[in-house]
Amino acid sequence: MATVLSRFFKNRIGLLILYLFINGLFILKYFSRVSINAPLILGFFTVLTLIVVILITFCFDYVSHKTIKIAYWVLTFLMLITITILLIKINPYAIHVDRWSAIHNFLHNLFQGLYPYSAKTHLGGYGSPFPIWQAFHIPFYLLGDVGLGMLFSIITLSIFLIWLFDNYLKAFLFNVLLAISPAFWYEVAVRSDLFYNFILCLIAITYIHKKRYSIQQHFLGLGILCGLFLSTRFSIVIPFAIYLFSDFIRSDIKQKFTFGAIIILVFIISFLPFIFWNFNTLFFFEYNPFILQTRQGSLLEVVLISSLGVFLSLKWKANILLCSSYISITLFILVSVTFLHRMISEHFVNGLFSSSYDITYFNMALPFIIFALASKDKVG
């Protein structure tokens, strides 16, 4: 199985299929709601994506480095301007997605001296992000819009890609695939934090890889980093587990124990203020963040994804392209199996394109798909 997956992803066919499939879901679901010919748009997007990949991969070798460098920064600037315009023009209270207000209202309560995890979103729900992810948004909240987290993350990513790849062509391909992605622009339009949570995860993992940090030699720093990311949302465990598990296996007992203990300790510390503030609401409230982040799945999905993650984590063998590919397919399967299991249990009362299913969860895989598409060989 690993050999088949390896070949499938090394030639990027699998990655292209995942990229087109995820973006295709957004086109079919949301374009059809505004009386636009969604299948026609999907066909156009597919052709555009293939042209972009072919041109940049095979034809840009004949373009000067200076030209590609200018094109990269022009594209980045245009993306940032477009994001800014959308943040200004779109009224967040008119959006029927409440990820942004799950953060905004949490912080509003916090600064008003009210218990943050009792804050309702603008749609009447409750927020699920963990404390570190809420704290990450404090500067943006104080600036007036937690949606600025997306702008910050894309700026950070664009600068980071140049250092990571040391190659403007690969960085340009990454941002082009991001710029033409309907799924990405949907995330921007609804001020969703999910996508850039995994953008920052991608940055952290590829940074660790390029600097060649290991649990054997850097268990303290890596433990703190993993603990901080764990305190954003539970699903962030998958990328870090697939990347670090083989290294964890090679570590001795003391390193394993210390690394794991640090992760758990950092995670617990991040919750201590809320534990002491209101223990009962944090742990026994019907809509506490732990319940909200685990209610979509079941024991079956946990066992399946854990088994798949462990298997794939032992197969990428220092090839960061394969690691990123395996992360993306694991995240994709997690969402797919969860949705399918739910559909079966509900006797297919609601379809995938109904409001009952949040297809933005597929976007967790998108940063890793784009990275692997852009970096067709090893990084670092």
What is residue 2's predicted lDDT score, i.e. its pLDDT?
A: 53
Q: Answer yes or no: is pLDDT of 8 > 60.
A: no
CB 130 within 8 A of CB 292: no
What are the tens digits of pLDDT across the range 139-168?
999 999 999 999 999 999 999 999 999 889
Band of pLDDT at residue 293, cut at 50, 70 and 90: confident
Average pLDDT of the segment spanning 293-315: 85
Reading the block at residue 143, the tokens are: 């600036």
Q: Distance between CA 228 and CA 247 in Å, rounded?
A: 19
What is residue 11's predicted lDDT score, i.e. its pLDDT?
A: 55
Among 19-33, 103-117, 274-288, 316-330, the range of highest mean pLDDT: 103-117
Reading the block at residue 336, the tokens are: 């797919």
Q: Answer yes or no: is pLDDT of 32 > 80.
A: no
Q: Distance between CA 89 and CA 122 in Å, rounded?
A: 18
What is the chain's Cα-based Rg? 21
What are the tens digits of pLDDT across the range 234-262?
999 999 999 999 999 999 999 999 999 99
What is residue 1's predicted lDDT score, i.e. its pLDDT?
A: 53
Q: What is the pTM of this model?
A: 0.93
* Cα four-point dihedral sign 83, 85, 87, 93: negative
What is residue 76's predicted lDDT score, i.e. its pLDDT?
A: 97
User: Which residues make beta-bridge pairs with 120?
Assistant: 126
What is residue 378's predicted lDDT score, i.e. its pLDDT?
A: 47
What is residue 7's predicted lDDT score, i.e. its pLDDT?
A: 55
Band of pLDDT at residue 380, cut at 50, 70 and 90: very low
Answer with the residue of higher pLDDT: 12 or 30: 30
Average pLDDT of the segment spanning 191-216: 96
What is residue 6's predicted lDDT score, i.e. its pLDDT?
A: 53
Q: How far apart are the first and last CA of the chain?
A: 26
Q: Answer yes or no: is pLDDT of 38 > 80.
A: yes
Helix (H, G, I), strand (E, B) or coil at 120: strand
Q: Distance between CA 119 and CA 220 in Å, rounded?
A: 34
Going by C-alpha positions, the residue among 128, 245, 114, 94 that lies closest to residue 197 is: 128
What are the tens digits of pLDDT across the range 342-378?
888 887 878 788 888 899 999 999 999 999 999 865 4
Q: Can you give the residue ranges of every domain in the chain?
A: 2-374
Average pLDDT of the segment spanning 193-212: 97
User: Which residues make beta-bridge pairs with 126?
Assistant: 120
Q: Answer yes or no: is pLDDT of 77 > 70.
A: yes
Q: Answer yes or no: is pLDDT of 35 > 70.
A: no
Q: What is the residue-wise DSSP string for 133-148?
A: HHHHTHHHHHTT-TTH
Helix (H, G, I), strand (E, B) or coil at 126: strand
